[in-house]
Amino acid sequence: MPQATTSSAPATMRAVSQDAPGAPDVLKVVEVPRPRPDRGEILVRVHAAGVNPADWKTRERGVFVGGATPPFTLGWDVSGVVEEIGDGVTLFQPGDEVFGMPRFPHPAGAYAEYVTAPARHFAPRPKGLTHIQAGALPLASLTAWQALVDTAHIRPGRRVLVHAAAGGVGHLAVQIAKARGAYVIGTARAAKHELLRSLGADELVDYRTQDFAETVRDVDVVLDSLGGPNWARSLRTLRPGGTLVSILPLDETFPREEAEAAGVRAVFMLVEPDQAGLREISALVEDGRLRVITDAVFPLEEAAAAHTLGETGRTTGKIVLSVTE
């Protein structure tokens, strides 16, 4: 069995922690013990950590989906360098550059200088990407990939409607759907249409001036990140046999009877750590068929400002924390 390596890293590290639920100002930088990798795990020195809606929703609730409560450290998106490997790890060696979405939806603690996680929650960093760019990718791109490819099984010629197409998940979903040969329709403000056309969108709807439910028809797949009234309106765009994939849990507000009557499938999909998916995404990046847009980069100490910006809902692409220069 491969032997664990030892690290010369310091015994403590900086991390963003919160002691209670609340507004962004609950996020504080603290000094905490550096974690050690267990069997099958790697220790990664974090260079960049992506910021996602799941982060600020967890911060506000003060509890993770799996039940963890404060104090805790947020964050799942990681790009960094392997510092140490635990017993049994054969995929990586110290010095390897990796990216991943470790442990989701359980705490991973990516808003920190170091993280540990199972080695197979990571993949080699895509060639040509900086750590900032790679740190923006994992959660959003895996969400798009697993929703469109693994869940909806899109294939050439399918018509795909992507809501919030200029957002973190949306702008990547547009490109992934296009790379799979789909005809892509996106909803976004008019100011973002030029960007989305450059990413491959075939048709765009300005949700502020047009009702997509009245103009979009015969769609095979809808990727929805909005929920609420958008579910019922999205069902009207689907052809019989189509699929609505929501990345928000379906609840009592979802029009189940209407979906059944229309003969369409509606599912909630929760993204999972997925090395195979990360490798597929890397291949798209390296082939020039997928690029990640970063809206803003903040230092670790300004995690609260990053959350404040994210909660406006007006960003294009992703927000990233720069952890290690």
Average pLDDT over residues 263-273: 97
Question: Quick one: pLDDT band at residue 1, thresholds 50, 70, 90?
Answer: low
What's the CA gap between 306 and 141, in Å, rounded? 20
DSSP 192: G
Average pLDDT over residues 77-88: 98
Instruction: Show contacts of 240-243: CB within 8 Å, 24+ apart.
Output: 240/264, 241/265, 243/151, 243/152, 243/267
At residue 8, the pLDDT reads 76
Average pLDDT over residues 92-113: 97
At residue 65, the pLDDT reads 80
Instruction: Give 42-67 pLDDT, tens digit per residue.
Output: 999 999 999 999 999 999 999 998 78
Instruction: Give 149-186 pLDDT, tens digit per residue.
Output: 999 999 999 999 999 999 999 999 999 999 999 999 99
Average pLDDT, the chain: 96
Architecture of the domain spanning 140-268: 3-Layer(aba) Sandwich (3.40)
Average pLDDT over residues 118-127: 98
Which candidate, 204, 208, 142, places its Cα nearest to that of 176? 142
At residue 38, the pLDDT reads 97
Domain boundaries, the chain: 12-137+292-322, 140-268
pTM score: 0.95
Instruction: Give 21-38 pLDDT, tens digit per residue.
Output: 999 999 999 999 999 999
Instruction: Give 285-321 pLDDT, tens digit per residue.
Output: 999 999 999 999 999 999 999 999 999 988 999 999 9
Instruction: Show contacts of 30-35: CB within 8 Å, 24+ apart.
Output: 32/73, 32/112, 34/9, 34/10, 34/113, 34/114, 35/109, 35/114, 35/115, 35/116
Yes or no: say if 93 and 64 are a contact pair by the CB < 8 Å rule: no
Question: Quick one: pLDDT band at residue 3, thresholds 50, 70, 90?
Answer: low
The residues, any chain, with a CB within 8 Å of residue 8's CB and separated by 6 or more, are none
Instruction: Using alpha carbons, list the distances in angstroms from residue 24 to 101, 105, 229, 308.
Output: 22, 20, 28, 6
The residues, any chain, with a CB within 8 Å of residue 124's CB and separated by 6 or more, are 96, 97, 98, 99, 282
What's the CA gap between 188 and 204, in Å, rounded? 7
* Reported CATH class of domain 12-137+292-322: alpha beta
Instruction: Give 207-263 pLDDT, tens digit per residue.
Output: 999 999 999 999 999 999 999 999 999 999 999 999 999 999 999 999 999 999 999
12-137+292-322 shares its CATH topology with 140-268: no
Which candidate, 246, 254, 306, places its Cα nearest to that of 271? 246
Query: What are the DSSP E strand ranges found in the chain?
Result: 12-17, 28-33, 41-51, 78-85, 97-100, 114-118, 122-124, 159-162, 183-187, 203-205, 219-224, 238-246, 265-268, 294-299, 318-322
Average pLDDT over residues 74-97: 98
Q: Give the pairing of strands 159-162 and 122-124.
A: unpaired
